[in-house]
Chains A and B, each alone.
Chain A
């Protein structure tokens, strides 16, 4: 095993354990917020995966919502309450949708890609609002999840879900890092720089895009199911374009250099949201918008670039240096 691969595994394992331990120390309200931030972060991790290939999806709500509804309907109508199983089902449903939609939209670029994803997600929104048999615009309430047959009490249910979410996040983040550092994952960076050259060199841009889109869909399915369980309620707003906008917001805030930054920025968004809801409910979008503008102006690489800057004492080498150089618009060393 390559040394850097080993390091990634180790980092994933340690941060997973650290998150679980942290869960026992956090107060209940924060536990809920962090769990939600994990769910959002997973979806945004998918957008980061797409961004590495030069695409931004403004309609990730589509697969987020599919995941939530697939697992939620199963929980309500088939009585499946096993949380880990529901996560797998949500992920599988979104992956299938990603595999179907991916090839259809993989030939579009830039704004057209973004707008088509919005269109797809809004079609789903429209359908769900009209489907009164599954709650219409009100959505429906989910049963309490169980964990391997164990039904947590009211006091422990937040913690149980948090621990599950922390494990999922650690696994997903590790898997994404490994994928990004792999040959197939690095090809995405080349696609972003120059598609035609990638094709001349014998790789398929189409395949890279479909693969990234499917991975993003799987992550969104996980995030959707997780947030459905955390909120205990699902409605068509999961697929509304402003929801998708929040995912893009998190991804831009994080930048695509660091996987951990995604979860930090989704936590920032959740905290800003909870505090704003409490203290200035009328102006929280104003705060959010100004914040986004400030990040794009002052930190074009996202807050993930801060990580790199702190580590910057050492001379950056290899892929990360190349990514950073690309991010700053210079040629790779």
Chain B
């Protein structure tokens, strides 16, 4: 029983930040039709930026609680700097082209960003341990869990809810949905489609960076952290169905719990359990769990 609780808690914590990354990925795909391989690098930039920003908190003599704000601002800064450069400067040139070609462009962006992060922050690891002590420990069953980890779950839920409400309950959201449905007609109705694209990309980058920033206390921030995240979040959106928010949530939970189960019960399977689950889902649901099968066009 203890095992089950441990697996569940660890799995859901992992699922929570994976969900934030996957949410951005699925939002960008839904609106811009781009599967962004560079998304993992944006997560890494968020983590690095958080490592830098949180050092300002003690330097300015502020109480440690402010490091949460610092991490939030770090993610925002990453999105403000990178989203316009990537979307307006590069991806815009390839709208309407083959999806696989755009996949390659984002692969190239991934290669570039990996090295840019090394140029800015070097190759030595950073440790952001301060914020992890903020929420104390919580006892579940007979085991203690770090409160910060559980806070991540809440953060992911808030992020998911915010994006869902923003899309379905606000005027801007309705406009975004209209653009998803048909960009040409939306443009004819006076929607600034370019702005909607930039907005969606901005939110996507922000979510990835936010996940990176708030995960940074859990990991050592160093080159290469982007790769496992991008692979796992790809699996999440493919399992859930590209462009679906509930799909991303369910997919993240499936991947998170599968990984935690593997780590505790079959450590040998840890490296490939994610792909295994993804392959099984694709065999039965070729378009993912929450995607309607599309008719082939003649």
Q: Interface on A for B, CB 8 Å cutoff?
A: 56, 58, 104, 107-108, 110-112, 114-116, 118-120, 122-123, 125-127, 129-130, 194-197, 241-242, 245, 248-249, 252, 282-286, 288-290, 292-293, 296-297
Report B288 CB to chain A, min CB distance, Å. 9
Residues of chain B touching chain A, judged by Cβ–Cβ distance below 8 Å, are: 35, 90, 93-94, 99-101, 103-105, 107-112, 114-116, 118-119, 123, 227, 231, 234-235, 238, 242, 268-272, 275-276, 278-279, 282-283, 286-287, 296-298
**Bound Cα distance A118, B274 (Å):** 12
Partner of A297, one of B35, B93, B110, B119: B93
- A293 near B279 with CB under 8 A, answer no
Q: Inside 8 A of B108's CB, which chain A residues have their CB?
A: 288-290, 292-293, 296
- Measured between alpha carbons, how far is A292 from B114 in the docked complex, in Å? 15
One of B94, B114, B271 near A126 (C-beta < 8 A): B271
Answer whether A122 and B272 are a contact pair too, CB < 8 Å, given A108-B282, A282-B119: yes
Question: What 13 additional pairs, Cβ within 8 angstroms, besides A108-B286, A194-B298, A242-B227?
Answer: A58-B103, A111-B99, A111-B100, A112-B286, A120-B275, A126-B269, A126-B271, A197-B298, A285-B111, A289-B109, A290-B108, A292-B111, A296-B108
Whole-angstrom CA separation of A286 from B119 in the bound complex: 10
Min Cβ gap B232→A in Å is 11
> Does B231 contact A241, Cβ atoms closer than 8 Å?
yes
Q: Is the CB of A292 within 8 A of B104?
A: yes
Contact A119 B279 (CB under 8 A): yes
**Taking CB as reference atom, which chain B residue is nearest A192?**
B98
Chain B residues near A58 (CB-CB < 8 A)? 103
Contacts of A296 in B (CB 8 A): 94, 101, 104-105, 108
Bound form: Cα–Cα A260–B92 in Å:
32
- Given A112-B238, A119-B278, A296-B101 in contact, is the A130-B271 Cβ separation under 8 Å? yes
Query: In the bound complex, what is the Cα–Cα distance between A115 and B241 (angstroms)?
Result: 13
Which residues of chain B are near A241, meaning CB under 8 Å? 231
Contacts of A130 on B, CB cut-off 8 Å? 268, 271
Contact of B103 among A111, A286, A289, A293 (CB under 8 A): A111
With both beta carbons as reference points, the residue of chain A lying nearest to B90 in the complex is identified as A293
B271 touches A129 (CB 8 A): yes
Quote the shortest CB–CB distance from A326 to chain B (angstroms).
12
Closest to B275 in A: A119
- Which residues from A are CB-within-8-Å of B227? 242
Identify the closest chain B residue to A290 (Cβ). Answer: B112
What residues on B are CB-neighbors of A292 within 8 Å?
104-105, 107-108, 111
Point out which of A111, A195, A196, A288 has the most chain B C-beta atoms below 10 A from its C-beta.
A111
> Are B99 and A123 in contact, with the CB atoms below 8 A?
no
CA distance in complex: A286, B283 (Å): 37
**Residue of B with least CB distance to A110:** B99
Find out whether the CB atom of B279 lies under 8 angstroms from the CB atom of A120. Answer: yes
On chain A, the residues within 8 Å of B296 by CB distance are: 195-196
> Would you list 15 pairs from A and B whose C-beta atoms are within 8 A, ordered by A residue?
A56-B100, A56-B103, A111-B103, A118-B234, A119-B278, A120-B275, A196-B297, A285-B111, A285-B115, A286-B115, A286-B116, A289-B107, A289-B110, A296-B104, A297-B93
CB-defined contacts of A122 to chain B, threshold 8 Å: 231, 271-272, 275
Query: How far apart are the CA atoms of A70 and B112 in the complex, in Å?
Result: 34
- In the bound assembly, the distance between CA atoms of A197 and B101 in angstroms comes to 23
B234 contacts which chain A residues (CB < 8 A)? 115, 118
How many angstroms between the C-alpha atoms of A292 and B283 in the bound complex?
A: 33
Contacts of A120 in B (CB 8 A): 275, 279
A108 cross-chain contacts in B, Cβ below 8 A:
282, 286
With A120-B275, A282-B118, A288-B111 as contacts: A293 and B105 at CB distance below 8 Å = yes
A283-B115 Cα distance, complex, nearest whole Å? 5
Q: Which of B100, B112, B115, B287 contacts A114 (CB 8 A)?
A: B100
* Separation of A122 and B274 alpha carbons in the complex (Å): 10
- Provide the residues of chain A in CB contact with B119, threshold 8 Å: 282-283, 286
Closest residue to B277 on the A side, CB-wise? A119
Question: Nearest CB to that of B122 among chain A residues?
Answer: A282
CA A195 to CA B296, docked complex, whole Å: 9
Q: In the complex, A58 Cα to B118 Cα: how many Å?
A: 25
Chain B residues within an 8 Å CB radius of A116 = 279, 282
User: A125-B272, A297-B93 known; A289 and B279 CB under 8 Å?
Assistant: no
Residue contact B104 to A123, C-beta cutoff 8 Å: no
Q: How far is the CB of A203 from chain B (nearest CB, A)?
A: 16
Closest Cβ of chain B: how far from A128's Cβ, in Å?
9
Report Cα–Cα, A127/B272, bound state, in Å.
Answer: 8
Bound together, the chains give a CA A88 to CA B108 distance in angstroms of 34
B88 to chain A, nearest CB (A): 15
In the assembled complex, the Cα of A225 lies from the Cα of B233 at a distance in Å of 33
User: Looking at A249, A284, A285, which has the most chain B CB atoms within 10 Å of its CB?
Assistant: A285
Q: Which of B111, B231, B270 contacts A289 (CB under 8 A)?
A: B111
**Contact residues in A for B276 (Cβ distance below 8 Å):** 123
Task: Give Cα A107 to B90, complex, Å.
Answer: 32
A248 surroundings in chain B (CB, below 8 A): 104, 107
Which chain A residues lie closer than 8 Å to B100 at the CB level? 56, 110-111, 114
Closest to B287 in A: A112
